[in-house]
């Protein structure tokens, strides 16, 4: 929903404010500050407001503060307003997850979640193609304002689409919010998956946030050419989410699929880091970005389906909200760290390598969890 808006405009914003890589990372990730603060409580809020009201209110909040941010000339004012916008976003993901949980069986839930997440990457395709053109014709502020209008207008769509939808009554277990949070942290599967999401989302968002800047500054591609590669990478990610989601449902082991996503993403991040040293042709860079989009953004729907599967459907909103706190924290911290490494080494190449190492670490974490479960199963069978 939100993620695709600033990256296509990053070059315009950096030039106007003369931002360092660290400050650009702070601006692009400030949206998730509000998410981090509210995510622990979104489950309780959604259970109180209901699914429809939660989605509608979140879209209005997101759109309003995005539009407001386009009027300010201070980078700190923009950062603050985007953080307020993030408070709305913290509601929408768990609310839609709860909707999917109620309407789809566990056998197809990985695919359903991935199709839901595909909407985010398709939004990325459209914004990567549309917003830079609007920024060239008018300016980046007008382009950003239009993005906010689009988000807010979707609140009307969901208001009427879900008008006849009635949320099931909230059980007493859902009302005991603190107890559900405690149960979440006692579940090792949920904690490991949440740690994995911290690293996976950090790599994913760093890639999509900084790809245009990398192509423009390090490889000297034009903004149009860089935005086009971002768009096709986002499109590949939309397809990848559906295919990876179907694969996870077919295999019945979501963590094994997540492991493969981590390994492949790590390999192609290393290849991307070499592109500035080896003078790779444009078509080869395009192929790398397409494959990276396919892999690095394919994990999210599977992860959210796994969180609900391992945490139980009764606590779906709470489990989604708490786990997404790790996710939003990963987006925020990795964006800052990635920008800082760019400032420190004057190149993105080492930053891609660091992301690759983080993905390998997180896949080893989930692989260890799979190995321990297999060992226990064999012991019981023996």
d(CA 173, CA 138): 52
Residue 161's nearest CA partner among 49, 252, 69, 51 is 51
Q: Specify the CATH architecture of the domain 7-161+176-374.
A: Up-down Bundle (1.20)
Phi-psi region of 15 (alpha: psi -120 to 50; beta: other; left: phi over 0): alpha
* 298 phi, psi to nearest 5 deg: -85, -5
Residue 17's nearest CA partner among 81, 74, 94, 62 is 74
- The pTM for the full model equals 0.69
Q: Residue 353 pLDDT more than 70? A: yes
d(CA 229, CA 286): 6
Contact residues for 75 (Cβ-Cβ < 8 A; gap 6+): 17, 19, 23, 27
Q: What confidence category does residue 263 fall into, taking pLDDT thresholds of 50, 70 and 90?
A: very high
Q: Where are the alpha helices (DSSP H) in 18-139?
A: 21-29, 31-49, 51-69, 75-103, 109-137
Q: Residue 375 pLDDT more than 50? A: no
d(CA 333, CA 13): 20
Rounded to 5°, the CA angle 259-261-264 comes to 110
Q: How do residues 126-139 score in pLDDT, each as one tens digit?
A: 777 788 888 888 88
Residue 112's nearest CA partner among 249, 254, 293 is 249
Phi-psi region of 166 (alpha: psi -120 to 50; beta: other; left: phi over 0): beta
Q: Residue 337 pLDDT more than 70? A: yes
Q: Which of 48-52, 118-122, 282-286 shows the highest mean pLDDT?
A: 282-286
108-112, 158-162, 327-331, 337-341: least confidently modelled range? 108-112
DSSP state of 73: -
Do 21 and 157 touch, CB atoms closer than 8 A?
no
* 253 phi, psi to nearest 5 deg: -130, 95
Q: Residue 182, Cα to own-chain centre: how many angstroms? A: 25
pLDDT of residue 271: 93
């Amino acid at each position: 929903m939100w993620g695709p808006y600033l990256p296509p405009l990053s070059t315009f914003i950096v030039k106007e404010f003369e931002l360092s890589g660290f400050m650009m990372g702070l601006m692009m990730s400030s949206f998730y500050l509000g998410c981090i603060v509210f995510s622990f409580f979104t489950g309780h809020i959604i259970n109180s407001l209901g699914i429809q009201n939660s989605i509608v209110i979140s879209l209005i909040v997101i759109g309003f503060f995005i539009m407001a941010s386009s009027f300010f000339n201070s980078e700190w004012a923009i950062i603050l307003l985007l953080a307020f916008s993030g408070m709305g976003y913290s509601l929408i993901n768990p609310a839609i997850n709860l909707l999917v949980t109620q309407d789809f069986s566990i056998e197809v839930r990985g695919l359903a979640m991935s199709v839901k997440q595909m909407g985010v990457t398709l939004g990325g395709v459209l914004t990567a193609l549309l917003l830079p053109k609007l920024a060239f014709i008018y300016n980046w502020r007008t382009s950003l304002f239009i993005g906010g209008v689009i988000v807010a207008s979707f609140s009307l769509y969901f208001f009427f689409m879900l008008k006849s939808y009635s949320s099931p009554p909230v059980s007493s277990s859902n009302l005991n919010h603190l107890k559900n949070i405690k149960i979440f942290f006692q579940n090792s599967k949920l904690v490991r998956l949440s740690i994995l999401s911290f690293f996976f989302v950090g790599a994913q968002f760093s890639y999509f946030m900084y790809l245009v800047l990398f192509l423009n500054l390090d490889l000297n591609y034009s903004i149009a050419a860089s935005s086009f590669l971002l768009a096709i990478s986002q499109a590949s990610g939309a397809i990848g989410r559906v295919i990876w989601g179907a694969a996870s449902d077919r295999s019945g082991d979501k963590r094994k699929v997540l492991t493969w996503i981590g390994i492949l993403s790590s390999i192609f991040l290393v290849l991307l880091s070499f592109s500035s040293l080896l003078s790779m042709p444009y078509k080869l860079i395009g192929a790398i970005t397409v494959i990276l989009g396919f892999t690095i953004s394919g994990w999210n729907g599977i992860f959210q389906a796994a969180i609900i599967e391992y945490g139980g459907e009764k606590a779906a909103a709470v489990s989604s909200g708490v786990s997404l706190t790790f996710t939003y924290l990963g987006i925020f911290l990795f964006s800052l760290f990635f920008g800082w490494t760019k400032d420190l080494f004057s190149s993105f190449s080492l930053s891609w390598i660091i992301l690759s190492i983080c993905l390998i670490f997180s896949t080893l974490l989930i692989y260890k969890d799979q190995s321990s479960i297999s060992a226990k199963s064999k012991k019981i069978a023996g």
